[in-house]
Amino acid sequence: MLKLQFPKNFLWGTATSSYQIEGGAFEEGKGLSNWDVFTKKKSKIKNFENGDIACDHFHKYKEDVALIKKLNIHSYRFSISWPRVIPNGIGQVNQKGLDFYDRLVDELLRKQILPFVTLYHWDLPNALEEKGGWLNRDTAYHFADYTDVILKKLGDRVKHWITLNEPWIVMVAGYVLGAHAPGLRKPYSSLRVAHNLLLAHGLGLERIRSHSPKAIAGLTNALTPVYSNQLNKEGKAVRRANALMNQLWLDPLYKGKYPTEIESAVLSQNKHNIKDGDMELISRKTDFMGVNHYSRMIVKSIPFPLFRFFPVLPAAESTQFTTMGWEIYPQGFYDLLKWLAKEYGNQPIYITENGISQTDVVKDGKVEDPSRIQYLKEYLLSMLKAMEEGVDVRGYFLWSFLDNFEWQEGYEKQFGIVYVDRQSSDLKRIPKASAQWYAKVCKDNGFIY
């Protein structure tokens, strides 16, 4: 056995997002989000499920905050629903919606839990979606105005901010594959979406700085180490995949330019859309790099325009997968963190999501999930190894606090350390064995491996 200890003041957290847990989709003046609309379309979501009720966190937030406290968790990363606060995305503010987050922040602070707030986690006001969504440059400016409203209300108490969550997923799942809202398949416009999202980050960060100069703010990206299916690890497919999945979202922030590998494609899709001063805004200094990480990607070359790569499964028969079909590969976490530190000047990092989906069941009132505990041990060990070699990781947020609405997968995929009994009238919360294990990690600032 090995006792693993983390640095003093390391931040242990857990994470959720508004559409995935809140419910209250049509209450107290909330406007429609693109996900409220998308989930009602035929054959988009497994079992025709949706987030209308989700985990009912909108009504049960005090119970949930009390449970977070009971589990010794230091910080709670949650997102704000833009249409709950500004129903049409622009214009009139819904005070009741804003007050919900005001109460949530106060409740967290009363329990001495640090709020870590994401401003945008995919639920765009549908009124803006109807005006082009992220294909429309104006959406970035509307996001900045929305950020203004939130900072005026919460900026006196919230000191940790994330502008956007996983713009790569917004772009590829929403505008290339059509699997997420708005369900479009427009690969030859997708890099316009990318620029508008990055511009929204830059404009939002500017508003955060104007209201709260001492705030700690950054952008969260879904980052994935890329490997070749051949021995040539630096082949064309790897370079292309790395550019689109990782560098597209990091080079503009930390180098002030788009990656060379795809620069011509970005520029050709953004004729008249990239304006003077955009890159200066986008590359304004952040306080941390938000990293969401789950697995690696192995790729091979294909002649498909723009992407020019295709993901393939690992060849080893012993490979293990989550119920999402994602390979369990903790070495990739270490490889990613080392690459980020080398490529981008060892920025302070918060791991804003990491976790595993599996099938959990209640037996005798308990949920045993030893494979989740093992996954977390392996990934935390890889993270700590990178930290011991100098990578500046400041905190870790386990995804997810609750079993929630997992987008196109509905409620079938369970990421939570807390089971939500969807058969009970009050959506009873049952902490899993992994929740008790994680509570001890948070208390001890380490664990036995």
Residues that are catalytic: 166, 353
Beta bridge mates, 310:
300
Tokens of 167: 């713009």
The pairs formed by 281-284 with CB atoms below 8 angstroms and a separation of 24 or more are 281/199, 281/202, 281/203, 281/206, 282/198, 282/199, 282/201, 282/202, 282/252, 282/253, 282/256, 283/202, 283/252, 283/253, 283/254, 283/255, 283/256, 284/202, 284/205, 284/206, 284/209
Kind and range of the H or E run holding 448: strand 446-448
Distance CA(20)–CA(411), nearest Å, equals 10
Neighbour tally for 204: CB within 10 Å: 28
Angle separating helix axes 95-110 and 57-70, nearest 10 degrees:
10
SS3 call for 163? strand
448 Cβ contact partners less than 8 Å away, ≥ 6 residues apart: 1, 2, 3, 4
Strands of the 297-301 sheet, one edge to the other? 226-228, 297-301, 309-312
- Phi (first) and psi of residue 345, to 5 degrees: 75, 30
Beta strand pairing call for 11-15 and 349-353: unpaired
